[in-house]
Chain A
Amino acid sequence: MKKILLLLVSFMLVASLSACAAPQDDAPRKVTLKVFMTFPRFQEQFEDYFEQFKVKMLAEKNIDVTIDLEMPISDQADQILKARLSTNDAPDLFTLHAIADIPSYYEAGYLSDLSNQPFASELLENVKDIVTYDGKVVALPLESLAWGYLYNKDIFEKYSLTAPQTITEMNNVVKVLKDNGETPFLLAFQESWIPQLMTALAIGGVVTSEKPDFVDRMNAGTASYTEIAKIFDIIDIIMNNGTEKPFEVGNAAASADFAAGKAAMWVQGTWQAQAILDINPNINIGTAPLPVSENVNGSLINLSVSTSLALSPTSKNKDVALELLNFILDKEASSALFEELKFNPVAKFHDYEVFPWADEAMSYVALGRGYRDLSLPGAVTGEQAKLLQSYYAKTVTKAEFIATIDEVWANSLE
């Protein structure tokens, strides 16, 4: 036993010695940047892109940059980032969700003003708007989204259907599909964020077309969800004409089902289209805005920005960090990166080809049928997600739904 112990201890010693890195020989100004990004699936692409950056920095500015890239999956990324920020261990650059996180992170003082950076003036208008808070550009948008619901073009073509623009048209589409033995909607409620997309789109449509000051009034405590109760019109249609056992179906399973043509429509964003294509490369996917009423102008594409890159005000190497930030939207190199990541264009000079569904979504936006993603309190979207599950399971009524959300919204204001 003693022998084993001795062995273990000596192994420990050797290991700890080798873990101490030898100091590097001298080089031009050495800078280490800590970058925190929630794209583990793109680790290689970003590492390659950063290599280009390092070469450029060494050649042009004689700075030897080392980039420590941390890439957790977004499930835990939140916790980790918060733990780092609140213990003063902030990364130089980090990603956050533009719509959901910018307000609270700004208030906590973790974002820098980037309005005067070169990239800021190159941003597309509606994208720039979303990363602007308190009049300042506070983050560089990476993933911009234009989405509604997905539909199977082949099925639609088969029955000579076009994307419905009002509730009446939607009811017609549903009827035609059912008469022909097709299931209109794919329901995947195991992961609660997916049904929440329905409320996001429905609320967006109703509020933008009929009650534009709704969110402000809710934040002032002078409104109630009863005013937008009509969101349940479309939600009921979806829930009553969909696939069975939705609680057993998560995102991956649903993508497989949609790829196999098990339903004609799925309230899911364009970000999922690639995964569906991976399963069935022959499927033709389209995107359309979700109708909420008889008003065509309530049927809108959601425009938002999710993952964006921010600079920490406590960064010790701000100049180099800013160089990296601007390099992400470098006029020459950026298009190639964005195309490879299959992100939508965010800058005026992005000129690569996009997917057909992205084009389709933008065609609606060009007609004025787009709206900027609403900023609801995080607690509210989370609660909506859970309530929708309960609503489907019939353990919660519309009235209870409305009352609970009103309460949660009020609580979140404290």
Chain B
Amino acid sequence: MKEKNKSITLFILPALLFYAVFTLAPAFGGIWYSFTNFNGLNPNYEFIGLRNYEMLIKDKNFINSILFTLRFVGIMVILQNIIALILALLIETRTKTKTLFRTLVFMPNMLSMIIGGFMWMFIFTRALPYIANILNSEALNVSWIGDPKYSFIAIIIVSLWGGVGYLMIIYVAALQGVAKNLKEAAMIDGANTFQVFRNITLPAIMPAITIGIFVTLNNSFKVFDVVYSLTGGGPGRSTQVIALNIFEEAYSFNNRFGYASAKSMVLFLIVFVVTLIQLIIMRRKEVN
């Protein structure tokens, strides 16, 4: 056993080294700061124990940002995976244009989301109103960024735009792995398209769905770029997601870096618990 362990450690050593120095150590640094009142600037700060954590429980803005983010995450997980799966299914039915559509759908993923956010901001604030005027449409002519009801939708649209591509590729790969002969056998037995999908395809791609949900959960909880460039969290704080709340706490006017670190820890714990639950539940459902 000892020999085995030694060889494991040897092989993982390079990776572990880089990882420990540049990810683990800073993570512990973050944990340390969460117990202090460091303001990001003054090298003289004090250790204040759990006070940051006591404060954040009562922080209305923080709690609201958590609730807002939960709404966002819930909708994103469902929509993003369904849309990606549907697109994957549809693309798989094509023969000659398969590659073309895959590339087109994946294109947004090749852009930086900050730039993508800016582009969409232009579309919502300048292009859509213009089109709405031409078509005389009331529905399009709403305040996409200014009205919290609609800015939420705007954020969802842009997030989907930027995220679906990656998931679609995972699902396409999964679909291609579904044994063709199983499907054909089922069809010969008289099953229609839906039954084939439900009983053969779906169970076979369960691992991919688990991953898709995992990735969406993880990314949605941490969403920052899209909201930052689209609404900046506004108007007021109506679209402020957790990551934005933390960012402002640390770097904008508040300068409460230690406090922000504590909030980061809370965010991490939430994501950790939720994804753990998700993985456990879905692993049980997977077909071997």
Contacts and interface: CB of A to CB of B under 8 A. Distances in A.
B40 interface: yes
A86 B257 CA distance: 12
Interface residues of A, number: 39
Contacts of A392: 235
B253 A378 contact: yes
Interface string A235-253: 0000000000111111001
Contacts of A247: 143, 145-147, 234-235
Contacts of B146: 189-190, 245-248, 393
A382 B235 contact: no
Interface size class of B (residues with CB under 8 A): 20 to 34
B43 A396 contact: no
A12 to B, nearest CB: 14
Given A86-B43, A190-B145, A253-B126, A386 B253 contact: no
Interface in B231-259: 232, 234-238, 248, 251-255
Nearest to B45: A86
A282 interface: no
B124 interface: yes
A78 B228 CA distance: 17
A79 interface: yes
A248 B145 contact: yes
Contact of B238 (A108, A250, A253, A395): A395
Contact of B41 (A108, A189, A248, A250): A108
Given A190-B145, A249-B125, A253-B126, A108 B42 contact: yes
Given A86-B43, A105-B41, A253-B126, A393 B235 contact: yes
A263 interface: no
Contacts of A406: none
A105 B40 CA distance: 11
Contact of A379 (B126, B234, B253): B253
A377 B146 CA distance: 27
Contacts of B117: none
Nearest to A384: B253
A51 to B, nearest CB: 33
A244 B255 CA distance: 34
Nearest to A105: B41
A139 B157 CA distance: 47
Given A248-B124, A378-B252, 12 more contacts: A86-B41, A88-B43, A104-B42, A245-B129, A245-B146, A247-B147, A248-B125, A248-B126, A248-B129, A250-B125, A390-B236, A393-B147
15 contacts: A78-B251, A82-B40, A86-B38, A86-B40, A108-B42, A110-B41, A189-B146, A192-B234, A245-B129, A246-B146, A247-B146, A378-B252, A382-B252, A389-B234, A393-B148
Interface of B: 38-44, 124-126, 129, 143-148, 232, 234-238, 248, 251-255
